[in-house]
Structure 1
């Protein structure tokens, strides 16, 4: 029994030694540095930035159809003709004809019911919407990094609490063993304290794994190797802020990224109505074309007297053409009217989505505001409760040493301290989480961080 205890104590000591050495070799990481790394490296942000660049590339007048389309075509051809005949009045033999006719064509839409301007406006709104999507991804990523960073700090504090509890259990176990060696403690007391010591050892080892997983989750957001470790320089502390619900609501209506993006989406739907209506107007197109044809005919049988025979004929043809084309759809089975109706229905859907989002955000803001105020009070209570539990544990240790209380009473004080400390640190994290959510809803999470 003694050998097993010594082995367990040695393992924990070595574990603490290696952890201490690892901390010394770790890079320091503050919350602001974590956010900076996340904004620079996070894959979701990079993907959204590429989509934003795609939308910017499409937002041009050429993409909208304002400029003419110019094309160059060339159609070379070779033909063969057999001229052999029994007709005495025709020459025999064969001819080979080579023809090259490059053609330059240009088509320019002069008027199409404002379709070009409507399309250009839609492309600009799509680029703005893409920027809004990137803004939403950035805000969500910053919120996730903040919570992941403080989760690591929470797990660190929890690890310290479990380590402190383990030390107390080990000291009590060593103490009762010593009493057993002196004959003043029974086997039942020794086994009971040994069981408490082993239970706290298991809790501590499990908590070490929780801490490692929290660091891995943070590395995932920062796009860093999952096993990279840091020395975290910020502390898990509650910074209480006094918020005004009216000010938060006003900021949310003007700055919330989801709501602003939904407004942009409504403008896009309104542009779609104009684009659909443009099909009802005539379309005027200016067309220009030009070609320069070159033809060579190789005669199988020379023509003319021997002194002046012709073996081939070359011809060149230049042609230019220009015209205006006016087209107007008189009837197509009601397709245009249906497209306009559907576009208007989509606009109505967009308006309903805005109202639904506004109501949802109002509800989320009020709930988050009340939750934040509640958690402020809970954190204050937890702080006082932890001071009381810590004092009781210190006094209980002295009373246990002098025999005023038994091991059961001291273990109860120890468990109470453990639970109270965990509740206190969790209350700090909950308060930070509520504050971060309020900042995200009101559109101030980036300016605050």
Structure 2
């Protein structure tokens, strides 16, 4: 790990302008609690709405991953009926003495039964469905892991972007110190008749321009913090301060990253989808097999009447039997469903191959950018130190009237560009590092 920061010497920069410039940066944040990277990641993982949605999916699939959902448990149902009614009875027999004719006869019909059915065989569909439900649970867990990795990567990138924006303003602050010194030198020279109004006006314009740049950069810092707060699911107007530098890990190896690609949760979820579709093929094929069920129950019937030939009819007892269902013809629907399921298996395999292809290519491209940026960082760090020394030298020569105000401004611009380039390269290297670790499931705060 290498610490990348924009440090600066104060040997010839420090004057009263430094206090003004630094106050512009510090005053808004001096009373805020410092937010560390670990804090930011922990808050995001706790508050993330996307992670909560992914957790809900895991919970739903965990509830569904049950043998009863797959149809592997008995189904028991019960019914009961109690009916009271008034009937008119008119019964005639060969023996006229037995004839009955009555109106408003009360009758009662009471019945109840409990039925149970247990699937003994249906082409192994129950077993296959249970395996598919288990794969759906595993897939949702991988999707949750992917969401966690994505949130960590987004938070880390946004966190280091705040640091990048703050380092921009540090460069502007240093250039402001130079502009204040330049303005003071011109005023002193003009007081003794060694400078004209053109130099004074130019020095003042340069200083005012940097003040405007400072204000614009402060806006960029505020907006980058707002974006970080959004990722943390905190109020957008919360006050946070970040005091940190960018650490770039130089130990990443391309072969190791590619070897860890199979651990990527997106790829593992794609593999789960292939298996899920394969189980759907088996489930669909099982519909073409006979099904065997064991049926049983207990029934009770009680019928009573106040008149008529039958005054009481009462029956009760258990029942048991076996039912067989044989699909003979349904318009070849099951056969076509199976073919569609087989096509979906092939589509899932192609999707997995696309993920492997794209991730492998992105890893190589990102690693190329990572290694090139690390090389550029070494050169740019030297350029940055040289640019600081150049500003010191030109400012001293300007004070001795051996350099023009244009020379000072050119040196300032070189220094600013060197500072911007240095922090951009460090941020770029860190972003590449984060992405490489994310795709290889090695990302930690």
Normalising by structure 1, we get a TM-score of 0.87
Query: Of 59, 67, 75, which residue of structure 2 is paired with 1:61?
Result: 67
1:85 and 1:348 map into 2 onto residues whose CA distance is 73
Query: Of 87, 95, 103, which residue of structure 2 is paired with 1:81?
Result: 87
Q: 8 Å contact 2:66–2:130 — kept in the other structure?
A: yes
The alignment status of 1:220 with 2:253, answered yes or no, reads no
Give per-residue Cα distances to partners, 1:122-157, cap 9 Å, x unaligned. Answer: 000000000010011011111111111111111111
The alignment status of 1:407 with 2:417, answered yes or no, reads no
RMSD: 2.7
1:275 is paired with a residue of what secondary structure?
A: helix
- In structure 1, the residue matched to 2:355 is 357
- In structure 1, the residue matched to 2:32 is 26
> Structure 1: which 5+ runs fail to align?
1-9, 304-311
2:385 and 2:250 map into 1 onto residues whose CA distance is 19
Q: 8 Å contact 1:84–1:94 — kept in the other structure?
A: no
Q: 8 Å contact 1:68–1:108 — kept in the other structure?
A: yes
Q: Write 1 or 2 for the structure with the bigger share of helix.
A: 1
- In structure 1, the residue matched to 2:216 is 206
Query: Of 177, 184, 189, which residue of structure 2 is paired with 1:167?
Result: 177
The alignment status of 1:286 with 2:294, answered yes or no, reads yes
Higher RCO (CA-CA < 8 Å; seq separation 6+): 2
The alignment status of 1:248 with 2:246, answered yes or no, reads no
Give per-residue Cα distances to partners, 1:15-60, cap 9 Å, x unaligned. Answer: 9658645534322322222222222221111111111111111111
Q: 8 Å contact 1:85–1:92 — kept in the other structure?
A: no
1:436 is paired with a residue of what secondary structure?
A: helix
1:329 is paired with a residue of what secondary structure?
A: coil
2:254 and 2:288 map into 1 onto residues whose CA distance is 50
Q: 8 Å contact 1:64–1:117 — kept in the other structure?
A: yes
CA distance 1:360–1:85, change in 2 (3 Å):
closer
CA distance 1:15–1:195, change in 2 (3 Å):
closer
- In structure 2, the residue matched to 1:382 is 380
2:284 and 2:249 map into 1 onto residues whose CA distance is 54
1:409, distance to aligned residue in structure 2 (A): 1.0
> Structure 2: which 5+ runs fail to align?
1-15
CA distance 1:123–1:21, change in 2 (3 Å):
same
1:181, distance to aligned residue in structure 2 (A): 5.1
- In structure 2, the residue matched to 1:259 is 267
1:62, distance to aligned residue in structure 2 (A): 1.0
2:414 and 2:314 map into 1 onto residues whose CA distance is 104
- In structure 2, the residue matched to 1:368 is 366
1:227 is paired with a residue of what secondary structure?
A: coil
2:21 and 2:238 map into 1 onto residues whose CA distance is 18
CA distance 1:16–1:387, change in 2 (3 Å):
closer
1:224 and 1:128 map into 2 onto residues whose CA distance is 31
- In structure 2, the residue matched to 1:134 is 144
- In structure 2, the residue matched to 1:427 is 425
Query: Of 224, 228, 239, which residue of structure 2 is paired with 1:229?
Result: 239
The alignment status of 1:151 with 2:149, answered yes or no, reads no
1:214 and 1:56 map into 2 onto residues whose CA distance is 38
1:435 and 1:191 map into 2 onto residues whose CA distance is 47
- In structure 2, the residue matched to 1:196 is 206
Query: Of 274, 294, 302, which residue of structure 1 is paired with 2:282?
Result: 274
1:195, distance to aligned residue in structure 2 (A): 1.9
2:19 and 2:368 map into 1 onto residues whose CA distance is 46
2:28 and 2:203 map into 1 onto residues whose CA distance is 32
1:407 and 1:96 map into 2 onto residues whose CA distance is 119
2:190 and 2:107 map into 1 onto residues whose CA distance is 119
- In structure 1, the residue matched to 2:78 is 72
| Further displaced range: 424-433 or 355-364 | 355-364
Give per-residue Cα distances to partners, 1:156-209, cap 9 Å, x unaligned. Answer: 111111122223223323443454455543332222222222211111111111
| Further displaced range: 123-132 or 98-107 | 98-107
CA distance 1:64–1:84, change in 2 (3 Å):
closer
1:419, distance to aligned residue in structure 2 (A): 1.0
Q: Count residues in correspondence.
A: 425
- In structure 2, the residue matched to 1:51 is 57
- In structure 2, the residue matched to 1:342 is 340
CA distance 1:231–1:287, change in 2 (3 Å):
same
1:417, distance to aligned residue in structure 2 (A): 0.6
1:272, distance to aligned residue in structure 2 (A): 1.0
* 1:118-129 equivalent positions in 2, closer than 5 A: 118-129=128-139
- In structure 1, the residue matched to 2:4 is none
